[in-house]
Chain A
């Protein structure tokens, strides 16, 4: 009897992610949600630029690869082409919260009926660990070697908090994949973000706090601890907006 198997919405390809990286978990959660909702066959995913650039090799649905930061605009086109398409973007923090800020804010403002999976690991991973818009104050990276100096380069961008002020946004939740309980909550949030789209409820974004053992310079277990000790206090988990819950 098979008690655990690969979701249909994931391909057979081997993930390229570093050991201990939590992208693999998040991919699985997205794939499970698509399968459980029975929409994989009408889903079109939008890959971004960064570590998640190769997601088009991993999701077993039609995929388009967008330029850096532009995934929500590409997703807007895909969705407006046929509203029956289930459209999601999968973006990292540099992609979504720095170069793609305008596309993020305005797709939310328009209430685009899409699902955004936002992976926040407080660093640019693919390019080798530079300071991200979400890098914590004092955090050392390749381009903040003395620690992020907020006097010189400002503060991290809190995406869920920022978008909660945008009327067009429907559902915003921040989750983490640092332990089993949180992974289950992340799954529920991701599934809800797709369910919203199926029901035509508009823009849903799930921010997933994630680790980057390689560029943080930590072993995978220590990276999870670092996330708990440093990211959770700065980026509190929870639902930042749920338009339809508020109306109940």
Chain B
């Protein structure tokens, strides 16, 4: 295991991307993700074949990503909420063209220009597509600086395996905070890239990267094919972490920074004899539906802890088929739930203190 170093989340993520063999990064300044671009600006020119380019807009940046992705090379862009809205057009094209790429969203409060403090209110945008048309993104939600690193490798691997864009849904807390991190190279497997635009060299038929299909029959068939792939991903790639769930009567569901606050509250409640545990989705799409549905047969209540007006809660209710009540513990607009907020919600679910 590599020695631990103290790093900011955004910088650790950027370093991980370089370690992962990503030689192309396109970005545009926006708080609170700018450290990613700044790190890339410093390191890419010193990396063999490395390209850092500050685009004229988020729209241009994601289209530059499409350009590199179409040639079969590993490529990344990062932004924060308002910038991701601008990238949404390109994200839909990436999905429609079956191109792998890694997109980082260091979320801030919204809607509109919103604020610059951490938020999780882009959950819907990330997990329900975020652009036009039938498609999904792989969505990874780290809850530590270490996971900011690990998710980069995972994200590239899954994106290339399934030929689709992946997003790391981080937030201002994950991006800005410093933690000890082990910069260890993760696994990215080799996948077929015979589709890539590398020039025909006069030796093969042209490759075409395209999302336009005038015939509805053809387009429907492609969407069906893509959703077969999505089904396989939902069955095999959902990631989650369980915490004290063996005997839990109350199940907290939280991701990212909200899961860390929740863990503190759970530890306190446990000392008071309340049987509460947590299921932390690590992939938000695919959403860990099965483990939640299984838990619904054992626990009495769920609590969704999120930094939004309640977005993931809808997926929890769907996953458990509304078999149990799901309470919402939330702050929004850049405010963060406190341990006390979560603890109060645990008491409510428990019918008071023990």
Listed stretches B52-60, B247-255, B312-320; interface member: B52-60
Whether, in the assembled complex, A106 has its beta carbon less than 8 Å from a beta carbon of chain B, the answer is: yes
| B68 in contact with A67 (CB, 8 Å) | no
| A40 in contact with B200 (CB, 8 Å) | yes
Contacts of B90 in A (CB 8 A): 67, 70
From A74, A102, A105, name the one whose CB has the most chain B CB atoms within 10 angstroms: A74
Name A81's contact: one of B63, B71, B206, B208 (CB within 8 Å): B71
A65 to B64, CA, bound (A): 13
Q: Which of A210-226 contact B (CB under 8 A)?
A: none
Q: Which of A49-94 contact B (CB under 8 A)?
A: 53-54, 56-57, 59-67, 70, 73-82, 85
Q: Which of A135-175 contact B (CB under 8 A)?
A: none
Binary interface encoding of chain B residues 324-342 relative to chain A, with 1 for a CB under 8 A from any of its CBs, else 0: 0000000000000000000
A31 to B1, CA, bound (A): 55
Whether, in the assembled complex, A228 has its beta carbon less than 8 Å from a beta carbon of chain B, the answer is: no
A60 to B89, CA, bound (A): 28
Interface residue count on the B side (C-beta < 8 Å): 39
Whether, in the assembled complex, A44 has its beta carbon less than 8 Å from a beta carbon of chain B, the answer is: yes
A82 to B70, CA, bound (A): 12
Q: Which of B40-55 contact A (CB under 8 A)?
A: 51, 53, 55
Q: Which residue of B lies closest to A63 (CB)?
A: B208
| A78 in contact with B206 (CB, 8 Å) | no
Whether, in the assembled complex, B207 has its beta carbon less than 8 Å from a beta carbon of chain A, the answer is: yes
Contacts of B73 in A (CB 8 A): 81
Q: Which residue of A lies closest to B23 (CB)?
A: A81
Whether, in the assembled complex, B269 has its beta carbon less than 8 Å from a beta carbon of chain A, the answer is: no
Instruction: Known contacts A41-B200, A78-B70; decide if A106 and B209 are in contact (CB<8 Å).
Output: no
Name B68's contact: one of A57, A59, A62, A78 (CB within 8 Å): A78
Instruction: Known contacts A80-B53, A81-B67; decide if A62 and B200 are in contact (CB<8 Å).
Output: yes
Q: Which residue of B lies closest to A54 (CB)?
A: B212
Whether, in the assembled complex, A204 has its beta carbon less than 8 Å from a beta carbon of chain B, the answer is: no
Closest-CB distance, A37 to chain B (whole angstroms):
14
From A59, A79, A82, A106, name the one whose CB has the most chain B CB atoms within 10 angstroms: A82
A85 to B207, CA, bound (A): 14
Whether, in the assembled complex, B112 has its beta carbon less than 8 Å from a beta carbon of chain A, the answer is: no
| A103 in contact with B53 (CB, 8 Å) | no
Name A77's contact: one of B57, B68, B202, B210 (CB within 8 Å): B68
Whether, in the assembled complex, B26 has its beta carbon less than 8 Å from a beta carbon of chain A, the answer is: yes
Q: Which residue of B lies closest to A79 (CB)?
A: B67
Instruction: Known contacts A44-B71, A81-B71; decide if A74 and B199 are in contact (CB<8 Å).
Output: no
Q: Which residue of A lies closest to B63 (CB)?
A: A73
Whether, in the assembled complex, A42 has its beta carbon less than 8 Å from a beta carbon of chain B, the answer is: yes
| A43 in contact with B60 (CB, 8 Å) | no
| B71 in contact with A78 (CB, 8 Å) | yes
Whether, in the assembled complex, B244 has its beta carbon less than 8 Å from a beta carbon of chain A, the answer is: no
A244 to B326, CA, bound (A): 69
| B55 in contact with A44 (CB, 8 Å) | no
Q: Which residue of B lies closest to A16 (CB)?
A: B214
Closest-CB distance, B22 to chain A (whole angstroms):
12
Q: Which of B191-219 contact A (CB under 8 A)?
A: 197-203, 206-212
Other A-B contacts than A64-B197, A81-B73, 16 sampled, CB-CB below 8 A, are A41-B199, A44-B197, A46-B67, A56-B208, A62-B200, A70-B60, A74-B70, A76-B63, A77-B26, A77-B70, A78-B67, A81-B71, A85-B71, A85-B199, A106-B56, A106-B60
> 19 interchain pairs (CB within 8 A)?
A11-B206, A41-B202, A44-B197, A47-B210, A61-B206, A62-B200, A63-B206, A63-B210, A64-B208, A70-B66, A73-B59, A73-B60, A74-B63, A76-B53, A77-B24, A77-B75, A81-B24, A85-B71, A103-B63
Chain A residues at the B interface, C-beta cutoff of 8 Å:
11, 40-44, 46-47, 53-54, 56-57, 59-67, 70, 73-82, 85, 102-103, 105-106
